Amino acid sequence: MKYYSLNENAPKVSFKDAVIKGLAPDKGLYFPESISLLDKELINNISEYTDHEIGYEVIKQFVGDEIPKTVLKQIIAETLSFDFPLIDIENNIKTLELFHGPTMAFKDVGARFMARCLGYLNASSQKEITVLVATSGDTGGAVASGFLDVKNVNVVILYPSKKVSDVQEKQLTTLGKNIKALEVDGTFDDCQAMVKKAFLDKSITSIKQLTSANSINVARWLPQMFYFFLAYKQLKEKGKKLVFSVPSGNYGNICAGMMTKQLGLPIHGFIASTNANDIVPKFLKTGEYHPKPSVQTISNAMDVGDPSNFIRIQEIYNNDFERLKNDLHSYSFTDNETRDAMLHLYNNCDYIADPHGAVGYLGIKKYNLPNDAYGIFLETAHPVKFLDVVEPVINKSIEFPQQIQAVIDKTKEASFIRTYSELKSFLLDN
């Protein structure tokens, strides 16, 4: 498998090079040169396959022969080491819980897969790799956990000061060892801009090998396809159409879902549900794409004003606006609407949702769901990660699960930076 830059001004690369480089030299995101339909046997008889077998069949064409079959299967087994249950919410509406991993966020899947792939691909090299990542919330903790103690890999995480929850901050600032955290005086967009600038700074890249663990990296993005297949496995015998509502910030998650349709998974439609950062909903109405500075909301992981992965979605649909609109709907919701949805889910459905899941639920409710369809919204993080938002709404204390108890009392260790030059100095000095 070869990967090409979506800016179309860089050489094609292998899976290994795409993972290690993260971003192409022309600033473009990498995209697979071909996408082949899966064998219909897998789709038609998916209930007969284990989750690990499904994961292997889904990802193998994108890895090729660069990771041996036995190693890739072990990587998938270690990635899919927790459950992805579907929970009944209302008639024909379910939620797919993606928070049962070590950091209680959906990003555990991509981070664990990428860390293990990178560990294998760099195992024979004496050169250290620096994973440089910006986070609006859960990416940082998932990457920190996934890459902890990986040989020859150092991790530097940038996060916006006072714009992540206390739990999220503890998860990315308390592990130590090969994990370093930088608290940035700014927004997630500022963090992401610094990361992208560093990748193109030859005074850094001539000395250090940088890669990204954001969803711009193919090894973080593509394994997110797994849980759409696992949801289908649980519902195939019901015989209904499936519509997925995905809380969307940088659009890597929903983009992975849309890739599964290209592989042959029969998904009826997708909903990109978002907060006040409404770039994509406006695009689908007007056909004009206008990034803008992000707006801070209670669903902070979606506070993205220039979603990186939307260009991949456009590539999947060959930049055909009408085709894209047939498969993708997108809605924006306010913080007050999000709080109302959280309260409704608690009072009427006996379900505690985090603010991102609540936005996903609102997307399903706004979509005109056919009678012969299931609406599935992704619950992307455990509500304990947003105590300051959730507890005042439902008027109930939420107990810390074991994963959170393990870090909540640890001491935060982070360096505070304001400018790109400070990031550059940190990278060169460490």
Who's near 79: CB < 8 A, 6+ residues apart?
55, 109, 112, 113, 116, 223, 226
Active centre residues (catalytic)? 107
**Is it the case that residue 85 has pLDDT exceeding 90?**
yes
Predicted pLDDT at 239? 81
Q: What is the DSSP string of 135-192?
A: -SSHHHHHHHHHHTT-TTEEEEEEEETTSS-HHHHHHHHS--TTEEEEEESS-HHHHH
**Where does the pLDDT of residue 289 fall: very low under 50, low under 70, confident under 90, or very high at 90 and above?**
very high
Residue 254 has pLDDT above 90, yes or no: yes
- Decide if 72 is inside a domain: no
pLDDT, tens digit, 9 for 90 and up, residues 151-176: 889 999 999 999 888 888 999 999 98
Whether 185 maps to a domain, the answer reads: no
Number of domains in the chain: 1
Establish if 360 belongs to a structural domain.
Answer: yes
Q: What is the pLDDT of residues 41-58, one digit of tens each?
A: 999 999 999 999 999 999
For a pLDDT cut of 70, what percent of the chain falls above it?
A: 100
For residue 415, pLDDT beyond 90:
yes
* 67 token code pair: 């990771």
Between 136 and 366, the higher pLDDT residue: 366
**Residue 73 resides in a domain:** no
pLDDT band at residue 267, thresholds of 50, 70 and 90? very high
Asked if residue 97 belongs to a domain, the reply is: yes
Whether 384 is in a domain gets the answer yes
Q: Which H or E run includes 14?
A: strand 13-14
Band (342; pLDDT cuts 50, 70, 90) = very high
What CATH number corresponds to the domain at position 309? 3.40.50.1100
Do 185 and 217 touch, CB atoms closer than 8 A? Answer: no
pLDDT surpasses 90 at 200: no
List the alpha helices (DSSP H) in 156-309. Answer: 166-173, 188-199, 202-205, 218-221, 226-235, 252-262, 279-286
Query: Is 382 contained in some domain?
Result: yes
The span from the first CA to the last CA of the chain, in angstroms, equals 34
Residue 347 belongs to domain spanning: 83-103+223-401
Tell me, yes or no, whether 198 lies in a domain: no
